[in-house]
């Protein structure tokens, strides 16, 4: 994923209309590196999402709070792919300790997404973030 979180926030700030933000979110999803077909499996599937969502995590060190985690993901829905891309921009490449301290919901709120997502999508985002934090807890232990 090439778009960083600061750039995403800056671009959202430039977009006044929700339709423009929605389209931008879809564009972010299109930028995601495709997951290998074999990564679309049950072990990587995020439970609690209405759409299909897969997350893959890997860390670049031994266990402990300073190990860095890298995430990749995919979804079968365009807007959800954009939400996956945003979650990866927030969390991927950060230490387990940083991931556990970061409140993605505050960022979603700041971007105006929380007010425009259906309750079902909000639950899906919550499930995705909980999965990322669960992986971080496991890596930090």
Give the active site residues.
49
Nearest to 132 by CA among 29, 4, 46: 46
Q: With the CA atoms of 34, 36, 40 and 45 taken in that order, what torsion angle do they form, in degrees rounded to the nearest 10? A: -70
In whole angstroms, give the CA distance from residue 35 to residue 81.
12
Q: Which of these, 124, 129, 133, lies nearest to 49 by C-alpha position?
A: 124
**Rounded to whole angstroms, what are the CA distances from 108 to 22, 60, 65, 86?**
13, 27, 25, 9
Place of tokens 């930028």: 31
What angle do the packed helices 78-91 and 5-14 form, to 10 degrees? Answer: 130
């Amino acid at each position: 994923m090439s778009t960083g979180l600061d750039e995403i926030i800056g671009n959202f700030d430039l977009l006044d209309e929700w339709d423009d933000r929605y389209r931008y979110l879809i564009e972010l999803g299109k930028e995601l590196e495709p997951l290998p077909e074999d990564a679309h499996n049950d072990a990587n599937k995020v439970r609690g999402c209405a759409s299909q969502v897969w997350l893959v995590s890997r860390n670049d060190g031994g266990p402990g709070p300073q190990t860095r985690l890298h995430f990749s993901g995919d979804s079968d829905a365009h807007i959800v792919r954009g939400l996956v891309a945003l979650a990866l921009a927030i969390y991927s490449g950060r230490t387990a300790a940083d991931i556990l301290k970061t409140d993605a919901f505050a960022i979603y709120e700041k971007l105006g997404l929380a007010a425009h997502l259906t309750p079902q999508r909000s639950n899906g985002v919550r499930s995705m973030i909980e999965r990322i934090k669960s992986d971080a807890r496991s890596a930090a232990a």
